[in-house]
Amino acid sequence: MVEAATPTEDTPRDEDERAAARYQIGEVAERTGVTQRTLRFYEEKGLLRPSDRMEGGFRLYSENDIERITQIRGMQQLLGLTLAEIKEMVEAEELRAQMRATFRPDRELPARKARTEKIIDAVRRQLTIVETKLHALEAMQHELAERLATVEARRQQIIDAMETGQPLPDN
Amino acid sequence: MVEAATPTEDTPRDEDERAAARYQIGEVAERTGVTQRTLRFYEEKGLLRPSDRMEGGFRLYSENDIERITQIRGMQQLLGLTLAEIKEMVEAEELRAQMRATFRPDRELPARKARTEKIIDAVRRQLTIVETKLHALEAMQHELAERLATVEARRQQIIDAMETGQPLPDN
DNA sequence: CCGAACGTTAACCTCAACGTCAGGGTCGAA
DNA sequence: TTCGACCCTGACGTTGAGGTTAACGTTCGG
């Protein structure tokens, strides 16, 4: 890493709300373990739009964006969702961020409520997916543990037979 | 289902060890929910060789084969393993079946022991994969539960504000 | 022994999720 | 202002996991 094109690498320190650190695609790729191509691809698919660009068009990712990346990866690998499915979830997440940002209009409470409920629904759906998978995996775990136990017992029988002399038990 | 070409549909009942029921590909597909194409494809990839064929070449699957199919599916969908990876696991499983079948040669205990240990290794590997995923999923579950709680709290605040009059709390 | 239902192989197609160039632009330090 | 490291878009290639179609063979009840 030769740090040729270093972006606005200011750590967010002084003042109230600084222009938080932004990273360009190379660093993001390195930090998250996904390739640059994959990041661009996710963007293409509407899953992750880097929060900014430089003058010349270089992508700039925020810390937040990075979190999203790992979130996406988790959904892909842990839950086995397709990118299309993930996109839906992510869009709900988008709403959430958007709401946080909305500077408290206080009028239009019903609209806020509606959006909140949309988010709640989305999170609930995610949660049930996760829990379903969890149960299935627990079942799998038990089955494997059992299998392991019996095979290990079998091994022990063999070892005993080898040591004592001959009589391999009938089962 | 018109049962035109019905295979040896004898339920294993009389005698000691009958030639257990065998099903042809259509029925297997229906029962397992995977397509015929997929079954043939798995065979092509060496994941699942139907235990028999009819004279004319029709595939005949055993109850055991069917179990294997659901096993494969589980590994694919729950664990997100590739068919290549699953093949490895399945091959260990093959060993196990083979051992069961070996009519107790009693000589060559060391060989039996070696094979048993191979199986144990394989099962252990599967188990750690499962457990890793399980942990990751639990983490995800917690995170989602938290998120849900905060969003639900937010909604409650909005509802309160709507009912009482105006003061949306500061956070 | 015939026909409907079922099965066979072989070849080609699709779709998602990237990988891999090619050709060119941008950034920042010297 | 130039150089090396870095990034851009666009287009085509690849891989995994099957779907689809064609042309033909098998089973078995009537």
pLDDT tens readout for residues A161-171: 888 876 677 65
- Is B167's pLDDT higher than 80? no
CB atoms within 10 A of CB B6: 10
Q: Which nucleotide across the nucleic acid strands is nearest to B30, CA versus C1'?
A: C6
DSSP state of B78: T
For strand C, give the nucleotides within 7 A of a protein CB.
Answer: 3-9, 16-20, 25-29
Closest of A93, A53, A51, A52 to residue A72, by C-alpha: A93
**Calpha distance B150→B143 (Å, rounded):** 11
pLDDT digits 0-9 by tens, B78-102: 999 999 999 998 988 788 777 777 7
The pLDDT of A147-163, averaged and rounded, is 92
Which is higher by pLDDT, B66 or B119? B66
A4 CB-to-strand D distance under 7 Å:
yes
Confidence of residue A124 (pLDDT cuts 50, 70, 90): very high
The pLDDT of A63-89, averaged and rounded, is 95
Would you call A88 helix, strand, or coil by DSSP? helix
Report whether B81 contacts B75 (CB < 8 A): yes
**Calpha distance A30→A89 (Å, rounded):** 25
Q: What is the distance between the terminal CA atoms of chain A, rounded to a whole angstrom?
A: 62
A98–B contact, CB cutoff 8 A: no
**What is the β-pairing status of strands B59-62 and B22-24?**
antiparallel
B123–A contact, CB cutoff 8 A: yes
B46–A contact, CB cutoff 8 A: no
The pLDDT of A66-80, averaged and rounded, is 95
CA distance B113 to chain A (A): 6
CA of B116: which chain A residue's CA is closest? A155
- The predicted pLDDT at position A9 comes to 45
Which is higher by pLDDT, B97 or A48? A48
Do A116 and B148 lie within an 8 Å CB cutoff? no
Q: Which nucleotide across the nucleic acid strands is nearest to B76, CA versus C1'?
A: D17
- Is B5's pLDDT higher than 90? no
| The CA-based dihedral angle spanning residues B1, B7, B8, B11, taken in that order and rounded to the nearest 10 degrees | -30
B80–A contact, CB cutoff 8 A: yes
Report whether A126 contacts B144 (CB < 8 A): yes
Give chain A's mean pLDDT. Answer: 85
**CA of residue B58 to C1' of nucleotide C2, angstroms:** 21
Q: Is the pTM of this model over 0.95?
A: no
Confidence of residue B106 (pLDDT cuts 50, 70, 90): low
Q: What residues are paired with A33 via a beta bridge?
A: none
Which is higher by pLDDT, B171 or B51? B51
Do B78 and A133 lie within an 8 Å CB cutoff? yes
- The predicted pLDDT at position A5 comes to 46
- Is A19's pLDDT higher than 90? no
- The predicted pLDDT at position B20 comes to 75
Q: What residues are paired with B65 via a beta bridge?
A: none
The pLDDT of A35-54, averaged and rounded, is 97
Percent of chain A at pLDDT above 70? 84
A109–B contact, CB cutoff 8 A: yes
For strand D, give the nucleotides within 7 A of a protein CB.
Answer: 4-9, 16-20, 25-29
